[in-house]
Structure 1
Amino acid sequence: MAHDAAKPEVTLPAKSTWNYQPDLPLEDRSLFNLRRGPAEGLKLLWNSWLPISDRLIVVGVSILTWFYLSPSLQTARTFGFDWVVGVYLRNLILITLVAGGMHLYLYTFKMQGDRLRYDARPFHKKNALFTFSSQFLDNVFWSIASGVTVWTAYEVLGLWAYANGYMPMLDFATHPILFVLWFIFLPFYGVLHFYWIHRLLHWRPVYNYVHSLHHRNVNVGPWSGMSMHPLEHIAYLSSVLIHVVLASHPIHFIFQLQQKVLLAVTSHAGYESVTLAEDSDTGLRVGDFFHQLHHRYFECNYGEPEVPCDKWFGTFHDGSEEATARTRVRMKEMRKK
């Protein structure tokens, strides 16, 4: 009882001004909820991939990338200007097609208006907080100058390591089931890695110097997802180092990098789904209200819903006003430290 009495009193905030929000409170989408039962958990896993999802699309892109847009391992045994620049240009084109295409569709031509858009406020212009005083130009610059560079560096080093036997290789013909299971495992591992890296990035000294660049974006768009400080890009993409110790195939390595980059783009789209018509509610789900809450309230929802780290460690925001009040109290307590 004494412990409860010591808790700070919270005051509920005024109602949030979201242009669109999913049904609240946010449902538990974790596969680790044992009360749900294994059958329901498998159903959630199935629905996260099929019949069509951005994650499944990235699997297809990574396979095409390996077979048609990557150097052979024989070529990658030695660093060469041609193939290294080729990987960089391919990654540059890929992020430009995805982030640039989504920005044109959703924000330049407004093909679905503000339907399913979380926050309808315009992006910042003539704001000294951003590089070039523009949120859009700031996001494009850091996504390309730092993001594509670090992404390419990891990929080039990884291909070189596979080619020279420094990373263990897993062959589809020998281990077909394990080969497929890698695609399912990597996103879950990526979420766990992201949660702890993200918590470190919110440590005040690191936040002020590094992560604050990403958090300039309270209202996010497609180019915001990879708009980060170079040190954050290095930390964020470091989850691929798991391939140094566990046998995998270059396709898995490429998939993990593309998933981290391209799904950061889509999850920051600012819309729940991309639709083919302005008056439609059906389309490819891209946005993540769970993470949108993090960009508005900062000290909550550090991970992703599939692995409930935020529930386990008391940082979950379910979109309710009560959760907002708790988060604001937590922010005040953190700033006193």
Structure 2
Amino acid sequence: MDDLKHGTRNKRGDWAPHKPVEYAPLFVFPMRAKAILKWVPHYFFPWNVIFAASAVAYWAWVIPSTETMQTLSIGWAAWLYAVNAVCVLLFYGAFEMHLYALKRQANRFKYNGKFPAENKSKAFWFERQNVDNILRTFLSGVTVWTAIEVGMLWAYANGYAPWLTFTDSPWTLAIVALVVPIIHEFHFFCVHRLIHTRLLYRWVHSVHHNSVNPSPWSSLSMHPVEHLLYFGTAFYHLILPSNPIIMLYQLHYAGFGAIPGHVGFDKVEIGEEKTIDSHAYAHYLHHKYFEVNYGDALVPLDKWFGTWHDGSAEGDAQMQARYRKRKEKLAARKKDGEAREAAE
């Protein structure tokens, strides 16, 4: 497939799409009914349906009985960790194998022309990005994910979380299920801005940003504190009228849903002429520039707070203008401080 029909490649081999990143039309005013109707299938397919289906499958075949979950036990917690770990290995590993190990589509649609395995760096354990990312994923990521999952299921089983049934409250649960991605977006943006503050960035979030050229295993390569904050998206269901299956969907949206944003490719080829959009460009730009796109492109939070970059030349100019303003403010503060010191 010719990726240059959809984008451009520079001298370094980096690919960028022709079209700038756009926000979902659901939050564009005045609302455009035609654009929304055209966009709706993309809201569900393929990613959200996959994560929702995995939650249903977990509830049907993996999650213990309510009676078992009423008592915290290493047995069923270890079982859930094992299942989560195997599912992450299979899901993440499939993307890694297809795109990075076998390189079945070479660097077609790849934002950064280089592959992470090509370079060693002391920023990573054993100086290898993949080794570092994989270890952090299983040692901390899946562990924190499972701990929150166990805690939430225990809360449901003991009546500490509002548990509605699909028979009694179908419309309420349908609405809650529909807004799971919006809850994730809001939570992710708030947490992301928090961990970009100077102290938390240095000691916590910098671990994730070591992967400047992200790949599938970068998705959950984080500091344990960031894992706790990130998977804390499930805690909204302690307040919302919800259901354990929807709570699992929320967790899976965070856990498995981290892949599309870090896959490193704009499109994943699944045939000679068929591709799946990753919608990863907005988050790739965050890894590239650090101080833009704290959220994804579902809710225009970055636009409202002035940190949006759509990948265009205009977006780059706006980012540079923000940097200049900040430098000018810092220089002015420094000058004022020096003047006060001289006056004293």
Higher relative contact order (CA 8 A, sep 6+): 1
29 and 200 in structure 1: CA distance in 2 versus 1, 3 angstrom threshold: same
TM-score by length of 1: 0.89
Question: Is 1:238 matched with 2:232?
Answer: yes
- Greater fraction of residues in helix: 2
Question: Is 1:43 matched with 2:38?
Answer: yes
Report the equivalent of 2:19: 24
Report the equivalent of 2:113: 120
Once the two structures are superposed, what CA deviation does each residue of 1:116-168 show, in whole Å capped at 9, x if it has no partner? 21112121543111111101111111111110010000000001000000101
Greater displacement, 88-97 / 125-134: 125-134
Counterpart Cα distance in 2 of 1:186 and 1:299? 26
Counterpart Cα distance in 1 of 2:312 and 2:11? 9
Greater displacement, 312-321 / 148-157: 312-321
Report the equivalent of 1:183: 177
Pick one of 114, 128, 133 that aligns with 1:134. 128
User: What amino acid does structure 2 have at the position aligned with 1:101?
Assistant: A
Report the equivalent of 1:208: 202
Report the equivalent of 1:107: 100
Counterpart Cα distance in 1 of 2:230 and 2:37? 28
Once the two structures are superposed, what CA deviation does each residue of 1:24-67 show, in whole Å capped at 9, x if it has no partner? 33233241112242443243233321xx3111111111101111
Kept in 2, the 8 Å contact 1:272–1:287? The answer is yes
Greater displacement, 144-153 / 320-329: 320-329
Kept in 1, the 8 Å contact 2:13–2:114? The answer is no
Question: Is 1:307 matched with 2:299?
Answer: yes
SS state of the match for residue 23, structure 2?
A: coil
78 and 297 in structure 1: CA distance in 2 versus 1, 3 angstrom threshold: same
Counterpart Cα distance in 2 of 1:32 and 1:138? 38
Pick one of 310, 315, 324 that aligns with 2:316. 324
Kept in 1, the 8 Å contact 2:185–2:296? The answer is yes
Kept in 1, the 8 Å contact 2:270–2:276? The answer is no
Kept in 1, the 8 Å contact 2:133–2:221? The answer is yes
Larger Rg: 2
Kept in 1, the 8 Å contact 2:195–2:204? The answer is yes
Greater displacement, 319-328 / 224-233: 319-328
Counterpart Cα distance in 2 of 1:333 and 1:132? 39
Report the equivalent of 1:294: 286
Aligned CA-pair RMSD: 1.9
Gaps of 5+ in 2: 1-9, 334-344
Report the equivalent of 1:65: 58
Question: Is 1:152 matched with 2:131?
Answer: no
Gaps of 5+ in 1: 1-14
Kept in 1, the 8 Å contact 2:15–2:111? The answer is yes
SS state of the match for residue 284, structure 1?
A: strand
Counterpart Cα distance in 1 of 2:146 and 2:58? 13
Question: Is 1:263 matched with 2:257?
Answer: yes
Kept in 1, the 8 Å contact 2:285–2:293? The answer is yes
Once the two structures are superposed, what CA deviation does each residue of 1:258-314 show, in whole Å capped at 9, x if it has no partner? 11011102221111222224x53x222224101111110110011111100011111
Corresponding residue pairs, total: 319
SS state of the match for residue 210, structure 1?
A: helix
Report the equivalent of 1:97: 90
Counterpart Cα distance in 2 of 1:42 and 1:202? 36
Counterpart Cα distance in 1 of 2:260 and 2:305? 26
TM-score by length of 2: 0.87
SS state of the match for residue 276, structure 2?
A: strand
Counterpart Cα distance in 2 of 1:16 and 1:194? 34
Pick one of 27, 30, 48 that aligns with 1:55. 48
Once the two structures are superposed, what CA deviation does each residue of 1:199-222 show, in whole Å capped at 9, x if it has no partner? 111111110110000001111111
Counterpart Cα distance in 1 of 2:317 and 2:254? 31
Counterpart Cα distance in 1 of 2:54 and 2:101? 26
User: What amino acid does structure 2 have at the position aligned with 1:186?
Assistant: V
Kept in 2, the 8 Å contact 1:30–1:305? The answer is no
Report the equivalent of 1:275: 269
